[in-house]
Structure 1
């Protein structure tokens, strides 16, 4: 595999190898591809694998987080604009489609597109003809790959996603398996990240103690590969020993349900006080997660929450969350 992909998108399990075979076949095609999978499974890495294994590998790979682009700027960001097209258009600006010319345009979190954004994308995908705002029609030469952690078909049934756009995107599909479905890969990836992390941080080479391997392979890793990577880096940076032992790992596992102790403490409060505390905690966690997901973009976070931007801003202020 291309060296740009190999360091990160690796595995040795039957589930991972089967997925890589599908990716290799998809890479030889030019069709639009939908990548599905839980958060942290490596959907962007899979998109990069498709690109770098394809005939377009010598051209740009342009990743776009749809959740981070305000709806009002989507068309300008994607297609660009010419000078004077609107009040703030001080100069010509090429769009992400033109940046990806000859290569691959990767649209992540495609489920976050508004109805207007979905219509704009559908129109472009039909013939890859687009028009920069204030400009003339142009024809793009690129491949489009999209990704989501949602069930788009279910979203079409609830009216959140266009059915015609879904069928346009789902011509080729690949699902990245969750880490808990990749037997043996937690150990394989842990060793991989130990090697990378020690090199990256200038540490003496560390290794997994044999009693730690069973724990790695039985923990369910809800955050998938991303959680495992961050976990291993944390351990090699803080461990004073050359080996990572099971005791250090089980401490992490026991820390996970700490919220259970918090919930137990709620029963020492009155009903109204407990309810108020739960709601406050939920609001803070929910709003913080949305802001993290959209890289601090308030407009995008408000859209995901189904709130007007002004209302969403008031919620942030009410819950003491910095904008």
Structure 2
């Protein structure tokens, strides 16, 4: 298998030099995004679905200096390493840039072999991506998973935001599993499911005799979490009175059981989740000071409709799980069912997808899941909002078929092209367009 190649950002205004670098890097199998002005790079690098492993930046640009680009992007979390190139041998500037955090500096003209060697040395360490992704196959979910792994070693509170059913608790459990606390309890509390009058006692516990029927001491979720993770789901539904007590828990690391006087130490990590936009909630429904204490490390889970690459992957996983609870007569999902799923709006996100797969597996009368099994209520009718464009559906179908061909041929592009009845060049162009150019390749 070829080593994992870097995701490189190039900031270069010279079309000849830029084109030459892009062509050589892509021939080496590396993924390159090219900007010809500093402002373009500043505005777009922070919005890329996956963080770059290296930025190669010219020092002299037509609008702002490369140093300005570096200083602006240094304000972003997870800033990629910077390597500067220039046609001017300004040693003082090189020293200043290296002291500011640049990983390297090269003067034009340079040897391409030496340039490639320095890129490999300066890129983000491979170990930061050396793991199998488990939350999804889309670029956006890879970014979420990378972020959770960076958060894992820390004790700071994490706030996971996303629509209902998008997978916030799954993300929280993953964060716990890859953290040093994985051997300790993961305690999940749904703040919207417990009656408000009982939530304080359930969260903090109570002393014997603190209220009617309190016949013995009760340990709450915060205490039972020990040194593990306390997951507060739907934190936006917590009553205001209890928010003040939660703020004390976060700030002081202690709490009081209901009816108690002695502070109890809190040693777990707090991870919260909400489908609400808490900063914009307004009307005094959520304390601003608590929000900022809980959102020290924020994570946004995108809705399923914005990560179509995950749909077929999730369907296969859910069907495999559902098949273990049926008579195993289901052989798989039909291509028509997959296309119907890609055209669906998924207002209920991943939870809706799982429920539809489980129902289809239980009720299907054929060996293959069909569109009518997934969407019986929509049979014979459709609405505009339920459909993606033809180009989106076609691209998703082509990408899945390419993945299947590569899997069947062990990553050999020539053989995969034969299976797909296209030329090797056409297949490579499609792989590049679909972001698959870093897949294992072989000319044999």
Match of 1:48 in 2: 173
Does residue 145 in structure 1 map to residue 271 in structure 2? yes
Distance in structure 1 (CA, Å) of the matches to 2:222 and 2:152:
20
C-alpha offsets along residues 60-107 of structure 1, whole Å, 9 cap, x if unaligned? 000001123333333222221221223322111111111101101111
Q: 1:216 to 1:70 in 2, by over 3 A?
A: closer
Match of 2:123 in 1: none
The 5-angstrom pairing of residues 48-197 of structure 1 reads 48-135=173-260, 136-155=262-281, 157-197=282-322
C-alpha offsets along residues 224-248 of structure 1, whole Å, 9 cap, x if unaligned? 1111111111111111211123454
Q: 1:81 to 1:211 in 2, by over 3 A?
A: closer
Q: 1:256 to 1:96 in 2, by over 3 A?
A: farther
Q: 1:89 to 1:57 in 2, by over 3 A?
A: same
Residues 105, 142 of structure 1: 8 Å contact kept:
yes
C-alpha offsets along residues 111-166 of structure 1, whole Å, 9 cap, x if unaligned? 111110111111111121112233311211100011100100111x3321111111
- Give 1:39 deviation, angstroms: 0.7
C-alpha offsets along residues 272-301 of structure 1, whole Å, 9 cap, x if unaligned? xxxxxxxxxxxxxxxxxxxxxxxxxxxxxx
Residues 161, 275 of structure 2: 8 Å contact kept:
yes
Distance in structure 2 (CA, Å) of the matches to 1:91 and 1:249:
50
Residues 179, 221 of structure 1: 8 Å contact kept:
yes
SS of 2:180's equivalent? Answer: coil
Q: 1:21 to 1:253 in 2, by over 3 A?
A: farther
The 5-angstrom pairing of residues 187-266 of structure 1 reads 187-249=312-374, 251-254=376-379
Residues 330, 361 of structure 2: 8 Å contact kept:
no
C-alpha offsets along residues 35-64 of structure 1, whole Å, 9 cap, x if unaligned? 111111111111111111110000100000
Residues 33, 145 of structure 1: 8 Å contact kept:
yes
Residues 326, 361 of structure 2: 8 Å contact kept:
no
* Bigger relative CO (Cα 8 Å, ≥ 6 apart): 1
Distance in structure 2 (CA, Å) of the matches to 1:130 and 1:145:
17
The alignment of Structure 1 onto Structure 2 pairs a total of residues equal to 251
Distance in structure 1 (CA, Å) of the matches to 2:370 and 2:196:
49
**Structure 2, gaps ≥5 residues long:** 1-131, 384-444
- Give 1:183 deviation, angstroms: 2.3
- Give 1:251 deviation, angstroms: 4.1
- Give 1:205 deviation, angstroms: 4.0
Higher helix share: 1
Question: Radius of gyration: which is bigger?
Answer: 2
Residues 372, 379 of structure 2: 8 Å contact kept:
no
Residues 194, 206 of structure 1: 8 Å contact kept:
no
Large movers: runs of 4+ above 3 Å? 246-258
**Structure 1, gaps ≥5 residues long:** 1-5, 259-323
Moved more, 232-241 or 58-67: 232-241
Moved more, 200-209 or 126-135: 200-209
Moved more, 191-200 or 247-256: 247-256
Residues 80, 93 of structure 1: 8 Å contact kept:
yes
Query: RMSD of aligned C-alpha atoms?
Result: 2.2
TM-score by length of structure 2 reads 0.54
